[in-house]
Structures are given as C-alpha cells and as structure tokens.
Amino acid sequence: MSEPRTWRDAALILRTQKLGETDRIIIMLTREGGITHAVAKAVRKPTSKFGGRLEPFMHTDLSFSRGRTNLHTITQAATLHAYTGPIMADYAAYTCASTIAELAEDLTQNSAGTTELYTLTHGAFATLAHAQHTPQRVLTRYLARAMDRSGWPLIGERCTRCGTPLTPEATAREGAAEAPGRYLAFHTAHTYGQYTILCPKCAPATDAPLAALTAEDLAYALATTNPSPSAWETIDAAPAGTADKILKLYLATTQNLLEHPLKTLGALEAETPAK
C-alpha cells in the first residue's frame, strides 16, 4: 500500500539548517513519525508565511508534502506552544534545551516506539519554558528517563554485580559500618551490568573509573528516574553540588553508551548554588 502524498503531524522543532538563499531544512521530532527532515521554502524571507513557527523548541502542528527522498516539504504550520522565546531568554534553559534536542535526535533514528520519547521531550521543553525548575535538573531528569526508555537505564535500585537492593537509608547504614575505602559507587563505563550502580561491597576503592556516591546522591539519582510529579520535591530540595555531580555522571555515561560526544555540552554551565 502506497504512502499518502500529504499528511499532518505534531512536531517539536529540534534544529534547523540553511538551504540555498531563502529556505531551511527543519529537523524535528514528530509524534507519529519520529525524526523527520523537511524543507520550509522561503522561510528566511521577511514575508514568510511560517514566521517564527519553525524555530528550535517550538511545538507545532505541521502539514507535509512527501518528497521523492526522505526530505519532505512543509506546506502549513500552526503553533501549538511557543516555547522558543522563553527558553532563549534564559541562557541556562537554552543550553539545556539544546542538549535535550540533540539527545532526542540521537535516540530517535526511526519511527518505532518514539511516542513516549516525544512526550518526554515535549514535557522537558514545556518545563524549561515555564521556568518551573532549575534547567540543569530538568536536563538530568530527561537524561535518566529518556535513556531508560531507550533501553539504557542509568541508575537502578539494585547493585549490578550482586543484586543487593539499594535504598538511601540502607546505604547510609551500611556505608557507616563498612571499613574505610568502601562506598556506593557509580560506574560511567556501564560495564558491570544493566545499570551503573555498585553496592559498597562490590565497589573497591582502588577501581579508578568509579565515583563514590552518598546516600543523598543516590536519593537524588533515583528521584530523577521516578515519573511521578512528586519526585520533583526531592529533586528541587537537593543541594547544587549533588545535582551537578549526578548530571556530570549521567552525561559521561550517556556519551559512553552513544559512542560519541554530545556537541552541545561545551556550552553547558554548572548550576549556580542558591544564596
């Protein structure tokens, strides 16, 4: 059965590329079709009918005309949510949104199973645009949940080597009882099993790739994977040092799993501690 020549879909604009003198290629994450590339003709002219509807981070309803290749043409665009202005007005929000957009594109190379990632990405853009939470923490939660949905969970509730259940409370008690040099650890190389977490008994202090985690670090990390809105209470209450530490560990692990660096990381800044 042949594919329709025209169709509509909701889309999150991830990035754009110039094409010729007046056109742009729009790279977007669509609700039904995953990553889609399409040409917006004459969009760079002052008289363009698309206006600012096709800028990065916009949430739009688009009509497409199918091309002979994978490069289609946008024929109509209607704004669903205008996230671009608020995000670009805040440098931290902009840099975090750029990393989220890059990761969404990397994790969505075909249309299979993209609806949930589309929903996560939309939620992250909306949260950044409305300044509901610290941008770096929005990025951290997006990393945890998006990687988990893609089959690469960054954190779990059991030791990857021995399967011992890990909770912040139990970890605090066990860590205090252990000999010096034993600690809960995060392994960014992701080589010990399904997750990157090791209990104090399985994490020797001499293993250089390991990063020690406190019970507070673990509580924060587990909260970032929790889909419940109530998890934001734990995420927002964590000190800046803990949040910055987990974000860096997540980013290192993500890049190891993707097997290439994220281009947008150079602009990310550490979270500014609250005064």
Residue 76: what pLDDT?
A: 94
**206-236 pLDDT, tens per residue?**
455 788 888 899 999 999 999 999 999 999 9
Q: Contact 84/128 with Cβ under 8 angstroms?
A: no
Residue 177: what pLDDT?
A: 43
Q: Tell me: pLDDT of 179 over 70.
A: no
Q: Tell me: pLDDT of 192 over 60.
A: no
Lowest mean pLDDT: which of 192-201, 229-238, 252-261?
192-201
pLDDT, mean of residues 14-28: 94
What pLDDT band is residue 270 in, cutting at 50, 70 and 90? confident
Match 């079709």 to its residue by tokens.
Answer: 33
Q: Tell me: pLDDT of 175 over 50.
A: no
Q: Tell me: pLDDT of 274 over 90.
A: no
**113-161 pLDDT, tens per residue?**
688 999 999 999 999 999 999 999 999 999 999 999 988 889 888 888 8
Lowest mean pLDDT: which of 95-109, 197-211, 230-244, 257-271?
197-211
Computed over every residue of the chain, the mean pLDDT equals 87
**75-100 pLDDT, tens per residue?**
999 999 999 999 999 999 999 999 99
Residue 168: what pLDDT?
A: 63
Higher pLDDT, 274 or 268: 268
Q: Tell me: pLDDT of 195 over 70.
A: no
**Portion of the chain with pLDDT greater than 70, in percent:** 85
Residue 196: what pLDDT?
A: 80
Higher pLDDT, 66 or 239: 239
Q: Tell me: pLDDT of 35 over 80.
A: yes
Q: Which domains are assigned to the chain?
A: 6-84 (2.40.50.140), 89-151+237-267 (no CATH)
Match 């949430």 to its residue by tokens.
Answer: 59
Residue 181: what pLDDT?
A: 46
State pTM to two decimals.
0.90
Residue 190: what pLDDT?
A: 66
3-state SS of the chain?
CCCCCEEEEEEEEEEEEEECCCEEEEEEEECCCEEEEEEECCCCCCCCCCCCCCCCCCEEEEEEECCCCCEEEEEEEEEEECCHHHHHCCHHHHHHHHHHHHHHHHHCCCCCCCHHHHHHHHHHHHHHHCCCCCHHHHHHHHHHHHHHHCCCCCCCCECCCCCCECCHHHHHHHHHHCCCCCCEEEECCCCCCCCCEECHHHCCCCCCCEEEECHHHHHHHHHHHCCCCCHHHHHHHCCHHHHHHHHHHHHHHHHHHHCCCCHHHHHCCCCCCCC
